[in-house]
Structure 1
Amino acid sequence: MSSDTIFALGTGAGRTAIAVIRLSGPGVRAVLSEFAGSTPEPRMARLVELCDPRDGETLDRGLTIFFPAPHSATGEDYAEFHVHGGRAVVDGVLAALSRRPGLRSAEPGEFARRGFANGKLDLSQAEALADLVDAQTEAQRRQALRIAGGALRRRVEAWRAALIEALALVEAELDFSDEGDVSVFSADRLEALLQPVLSEIRAALEDAPASERMRDGFLVMILGAPNAGKSTLLNALARRDLAIVSPTPGTTRDMIEAHLDLGGLPVTFVDTAGLREAEDEIEKIGVDRVVERVGTADLVLWLSEKGEDPSLDALGNIDLLRVWSKCDLHQSAQGWLGICATSGLGLDSLLNEIADRAGARLGDGASALLIRERHRRAAEDAGKMIAAALAPEKDLEFVADDLRSAGRSLGRIVGSVDVEDVLDAVFSHFCIGK
C-alpha cells in the first residue's frame, strides 16, 4: 500500500452546485495550510479562500473539513474541499493540486482500499460500496446498504467465534487431556457449537443465488415469430422508441435491451429477432444469437397473435409466460395473457406478473448475505469443512484441521486472510475518488 498523499474529485463530473475534492495521506495537513491558510479544527467545516500556492491566486471560496488519523474514512489524515461545481473551478483546483510536489491523483478505488487496509471496512463492505454506487433500484440499494453496513461481516465474525471456541475445545483435548484441570472433551458440546453455524451457512447459501442475481437484475427475453409484436411491446414497456417497428418480417436483426425498475426490482427486457427459418445470412446470425442467449434468461415472454406454442428446444426448463399479442384483434385463449401493446391493454397485468416472478426469484434485498460468487464459494468451502468435522468417530487431529480450514474460508469473505490475489480485481472496479 502506497504512503503517498492522494486527491480526487469525489462527486460526479460535469456542472453541479457543489463539488467535493477528497485528499488522504500524510501530507494532508501541509496541503491544507498551503491552500487554505491553516489546518481547520477536526470535523468542523470552515469557509475559506482556496488559493494556488504557486502564485497566491484565489481559486474559489469554499469549505474545508479535516479528519485526523485514525478517525477518518481512510484511517489516514483526510480532508475535503467543498467548492462550486463549475467545470472551470473544479479543473482549476485539481490542476493546482496536481502541481503540488508530493501529491498525486488517486487510482480507482484507492480511497476505499486504504480504508480497508487500515481496518475501516472489510472486503465485503468495500464491495458493497461499489454496488451502492451502481445501484439502480430500491432493492439493489437496500441489499448493498445492508452489506456495506456490516451485516455479512457481523455474521462471519459470529461464525468464526464459534469455530475458534470449537477448535479450542478440540486442541485442549489433544494437548492437555492429561491435565487435571482441563475439562473432559464432549462430542455433544462440539456439535452444539458447530451445528448452528452449519445450519446458518446452509440457509445463507440457499438465498445466495437470489442475492447474486439482484446485482445483475432479472432477465426477460421476448421471443416469438416475426411480426408477433415483440418490438412494439419493448417500446411500450420502455415508453420510448428503442426498436424499429415495421410490418416487414425480419426487421429486428440484433438484440435490443431496456432496463426497467419494476417495484424496486431491476428487470432487463430483451427484444429479439423473430424465430423462423432465416432468409439471409444476417438474419440467421440474429436468430443464432437468440438461441445462444436464451439459456441465461430468468423468464421468456412467448408472443403470439394466434396461440402457437414455442418449438424452440433451447427453452428447456426456462420459466415461460405465454402472451397473446394484439388481443384487440383476436380474443386470447385460456392459459394466455392477452395484451395490446399499441393501446396499452393488459400491460399492467403483464408487468405485475413479471414483477411477482422477479420478486420470487430475487427477493427484496432486506435479508441478503452472500451477494457475490466469491462469498458463496468461500461459504461453501467452510460448510464442507464444518460438515467434515462433525463426521462421527473422526480423529480429533483431523477435526482440528477441518476447523482451521473452515476458519480460513470464512476469513476470505471479509478479507482477513488469503485475499491479496483478489484485491486488485475488487478495487479496480471502483470509480476514481471512491
Structure 2
Amino acid sequence: MRDTIFALSSGAPPSGVAVIRLSGPGVRSGLETIIGFIPEPRLAKLATLRDRSGLLLDRGLVLYFPGPASFTGEDVAELQIHGGRASVAAVMDCLSQLPGYRLAEPGEYTKRAFENGRMDLTAVEGLSDLIRAETETQRRQALGQAAGALRDLYDDWATRITHARAMVEAELDFSDEEDIPGSVSDRIWPAMKVLAEEVAGHLAGAKAGEIVRDGFRIALIGAPNAGKSSLLNALTQRDVAIVSDIAGTTRDIVEVRLDIAGQLVLLQDTAGIRESDDGIEQEGIRRSRAAANQADLVLELRDARTAIADSEVFPLTDKSTVVVWTKSDLVDTAVPAASSGELLLSSVTGEGLDSLLSRIEHEIGKAYAAPGEVLPTRTRHKQYLITCLRELTAAVDGTGIPTELRTEYLRNAANALGRITGKVDVEDLLGVIFSEFCVGK
C-alpha cells in the first residue's frame, strides 16, 4: 500500500497558524487516531489533537477532503494548529509514529496530483511559477497556466490532429463503406495547414512568455567611470554596487531584481570596457560583452562631460540599445552629441531618471505579450512545439508521398504536444471512426 505523507505546508515557525497537510490511504485512520473522528468533508471542524497515548498536543481546525476530489486525488487532510515551534514539532512527531506515515519529499503532493490525473505537466509548472512569482505579470501568467490554459490549448490541437488522422485512416481502411465520405483529404489537409499556422503564431510568442517568467534583462554597458554603478544604485535606491573614482572598480556582473510597472527586471552592472593588459579586468570585459549579447535591452552609458558619441568603443550587439548620457549635474551646457532617442540624466540629483524609467517601460511593453495571451513559458515547451510544427508542415506539404506516411507525421505532431502536457498515449482511432461514421453497424 502507498505511504501516507505529511508535511508542514505553511511558513516556518513561529507563526500565527501552522498548516500540516496529510495525503494518502491512511488519512482517515490517522484522523481517527489524533482527533477521534472523521470530519464532514470540506467543512472546518474545531478539534483536540492527541497522540496515541492520549497526551494533549494542541487544539485547532481540521479539514478533510476525500479523494479523488482533492488536490492530490487521494484522501487529504489539513491540520491548522498554533504556529509555535513546540506545537508543530509535537504534532509532526506524532504523525511520524503512525503506521504507514512518513514525511513528504519536495514536490511530492504535486507529483501525486499529476500521477492521479489532477494536473498535467504545464499546470505543475504553472503552480511552481505561481509560488515563485515576484510581479503582477508573473502572477497572472502563472495562474493562467496553473489553471490549465496551456493544457486546454494543446489538448484542443491534439484533438484536431487525432480527428484528422481518424478521417484519413477511415478513407483508407473503410472506403467500401457507404457512409464513409470520399475525398476526406480535401478537407483534412487545409485544416492541418491552418493548425500549423496557429502553432507557428504561438511559437512566435515564446520569447515573450520566457521574459515574463525569467525577467527582462537590462545590461548597463560603458567605459570605466561612465556612471554605471551610480545608476544601478540610483534605480534600486540602495548601495548595491561600489562607486569610486578609480577606474575599473567593477570587475564582475552585479545583478539586482526590480519590479518596474509590474514586470520583473534583471538590471546588470558590468565592468567598464576598455583596452587593458590586466587578466582579471579582461575577464570582466568579456563578461560585460556576454551580458550585452544576452540582454533584452542595453543601456550604453557615456559620461556627459566628454560628449563623445563614439559607439565603436565597444562593438555591442544587435540588441535594442539606448544611449544614456550621465553626470548631467557636472556639465553647464547641453550635450552637443545627444540626439533624438538619447537620454541625459544625473544619478546624484535624480534628473532624467523618470524619463529613463519611462523608456524602460516602453521597451518592456514591446517585448511583452498582450494581457491574457496564452504563451509557452519554458524551453521544453518551445522544443516540442518546434517538433510539432515540423511534423505538421511535413504532413501538409507531403502531397507527393504516401498518405500513410503523412498520417505518421500527424501522429508525431500529436505526440510532441502530448509530451508537453505529459499525456502521451495511443489514441483510440477506431473509437473516433465508429462515433463519426457508424462503421460496423
Calculate the TM-score normalised by the size of structure 2.
0.90
Map 1:14-413 to 2 at 5 A: 14-53=13-52, 55-278=53-276, 280-305=278-303, 306-308=306-308, 309-311=310-312, 313=314, 315-330=316-331, 331-332=334-335, 333-335=338-340, 336-363=342-369, 366-391=372-397, 392-413=399-420
Quote the offset at 1:192 in angstroms: 4.1
Quote the offset at 1:101 in angstroms: 2.9
1:182-216, Cα deviation, whole Å (9 max, x unpaired): 21133221134323322211110111111022211
Q: Using a 3 Å threshold, how does the CA distance of structure 1 residues 400 and 281 change in structure 2: closer, same or farther? A: closer
Q: Partners of 2:326 and 2:374 in 1: how far apart?
A: 37
1:118-176, Cα deviation, whole Å (9 max, x unpaired): 11111110111001111111111111111111111111121112111111111011111
Confirm or deny that 1:4 pairs with 2:11. Answer: no
SS, match of residue 158 in structure 1? helix
Quote the offset at 1:365 in angstroms: 5.3
Q: Using a 3 Å threshold, how does the CA distance of structure 1 residues 181 and 283 change in structure 2: closer, same or farther? A: closer
SS, match of residue 288 in structure 1? helix
For 1:426, the equivalent position in structure 2 comes to: none
Q: Partners of 2:311 and 2:104 in 1: how far apart?
A: 53
Return the letter of the residue paired with 2:18: A
Return the letter of the residue paired with 1:307: A
SS, match of residue 42 in structure 1? coil
Quote the offset at 1:57 in angstroms: 2.4
SS, match of residue 64 in structure 1? strand
How many residue pairs get aligned? The number is: 416
Q: Using a 3 Å threshold, how does the CA distance of structure 1 residues 96 and 364 change in structure 2: closer, same or farther? A: farther
> Does 385-394 or 139-148 show the bigger shift?
385-394
Unaligned runs of 5+ in 2: 426-441
| Bigger CA radius of gyration | 2
SS, match of residue 60 in structure 1? strand
Return the letter of the residue paired with 1:146: G
Answer yes or no: is the 8 Å Cα contact 1:24–1:76 preserved in 2. yes
Return the letter of the residue paired with 1:60: D
Return the letter of the residue paired with 2:147: G
Quote the offset at 1:314 in angstroms: 5.4
> Does 64-73 or 322-331 show the bigger shift?
322-331
Quote the offset at 1:345 in angstroms: 0.8
Quote the offset at 1:364 in angstroms: 5.2
Q: Using a 3 Å threshold, how does the CA distance of structure 1 residues 220 and 77 change in structure 2: closer, same or farther? A: same
Answer yes or no: is the 8 Å Cα contact 2:72–2:116 preserved in 1. yes
1:323-374, Cα deviation, whole Å (9 max, x unpaired): 0001122333224201111111111110111111112113355213211111
For 1:430, the equivalent position in structure 2 comes to: none
Q: Partners of 1:114 and 1:137 in 2: how far apart?
A: 28
Return the letter of the residue paired with 1:264: G
> Does 177-186 or 200-209 show the bigger shift?
177-186
Q: Partners of 1:45 and 1:190 in 2: how far apart?
A: 53
Q: Using a 3 Å threshold, how does the CA distance of structure 1 residues 3 and 307 change in structure 2: closer, same or farther? A: farther
Unaligned runs of 5+ in 1: 419-434
For 2:432, the equivalent position in structure 1 comes to: none
Q: Partners of 2:181 and 2:157 in 1: how far apart?
A: 23
RMSD across aligned C-alpha pairs, in angstroms?
Answer: 1.7
Q: Using a 3 Å threshold, how does the CA distance of structure 1 residues 18 and 155 change in structure 2: closer, same or farther? A: same
Q: Partners of 1:197 and 1:129 in 2: how far apart?
A: 28
Q: Partners of 1:312 and 1:58 in 2: how far apart?
A: 74
Answer yes or no: is the 8 Å Cα contact 2:209–2:368 preserved in 1. yes
Quote the offset at 1:16 in angstroms: 2.2
Answer yes or no: is the 8 Å Cα contact 1:6–1:105 preserved in 2. yes
Identity of aligned residues (%): 46
Q: Partners of 1:375 and 1:255 in 2: how far apart?
A: 29
SS, match of residue 328 in structure 1? helix
Tell me which stretches of 4 or more aligned residues in structure 1 moved more than 6 Å. Answer: none
Q: Using a 3 Å threshold, how does the CA distance of structure 1 residues 310 and 85 change in structure 2: closer, same or farther? A: farther
Answer yes or no: is the 8 Å Cα contact 1:254–1:273 preserved in 2. yes
Q: Using a 3 Å threshold, how does the CA distance of structure 1 residues 101 and 365 change in structure 2: closer, same or farther? A: farther
Answer yes or no: is the 8 Å Cα contact 1:124–1:153 preserved in 2. yes
Q: Partners of 1:203 and 1:393 in 2: how far apart?
A: 27
> Does 55-64 or 305-314 show the bigger shift?
305-314
SS, match of residue 242 in structure 1? coil
For 2:429, the equivalent position in structure 1 comes to: none
Q: Partners of 1:311 and 1:83 in 2: how far apart?
A: 65
Q: Partners of 1:14 and 1:322 in 2: how far apart?
A: 49
Quote the offset at 1:279 in angstroms: 5.9
1:53-76, Cα deviation, whole Å (9 max, x unpaired): 2x3222221111001111101000
Q: Using a 3 Å threshold, how does the CA distance of structure 1 residues 278 and 14 change in structure 2: closer, same or farther? A: farther
Answer yes or no: is the 8 Å Cα contact 2:329–2:346 preserved in 1. yes
SS, match of residue 278 in structure 1? coil
Return the letter of the residue paired with 1:130: S
Q: Using a 3 Å threshold, how does the CA distance of structure 1 residues 307 and 191 change in structure 2: closer, same or farther? A: farther
For 1:424, the equivalent position in structure 2 comes to: none
